[in-house]
Amino acid sequence: MRIGILGGGQLARMLALAGYPLGFEFVFLCPDPDACAAPLGEHLCAEFNDQAALQDLVEKVDRVTYEFENIPTETVDFLKGKLPVYPSPQALATARDRLHEKNLINKLGIDTAPFMVINSWMSCNKRRQKSACPPFSRPAHRVTMARVSNYCASFQIS
């Protein structure tokens, strides 16, 4: 079986290393010409929205997975109509949004570390006045909030 992996980084490399003893072969679609997984299979060096590269991937593999959650949804939608994609596009949508992901985990009865939604510098400041910021994920939600997260972290550390 040939498995397509969207991405060619460390996780793709580990997937390939785990899959080879099971007889799997791999094709990596990754825009990085120096992708660390590339030596372990065929490397399609192209952007994730490159239609010709996606069609080439479809013709070369039996199924597709991805190594990280920021694969464009249009890419997954294109592929899911042509061959099996795992995890499902619904799982990808949940994993892409940290708030939805944490809420789902809690809804399933699994505890997470305390968290809060930080939508702006002001909300971070208000929370900081009450107590130090609890642990958080970056990006805190779908939009990358790195500057807000770093801002809060500086108060927690000081």
Distance CA 30, CA 37 (A): 9
The dihedral built from the CA positions of residue 95, 49, 10 and 151, taken in this order, carries a sign that is negative
Q: pLDDT by residue (tens digit) across 78-107? A: 999 999 999 988 888 888 888 888 888 999
**91 or 37, higher pLDDT:** 37
Helix (H) or strand (E) holding 3: strand 2-6
Residues 6 and 65 in one domain: yes
Q: Is the pLDDT of residue 77 over 50?
A: yes
Q: pLDDT by residue (tens digit) across 117-151? A: 777 766 666 666 665 555 554 544 554 434 444 44
For residue 145 the two structure tokens come to: 């909030």
Sheet holding 25-29, edge to edge: 42-44, 25-29, 2-6, 63-66
Question: Which of 146, 125, 128 shows the shortest CA–CA distance to 137?
Answer: 146
Residues 70 and 20 in one domain: yes
Domain that holds residue 125: 98-157
Residues 81 and 116 in one domain: no
Q: How many domains does the chain have?
A: 2
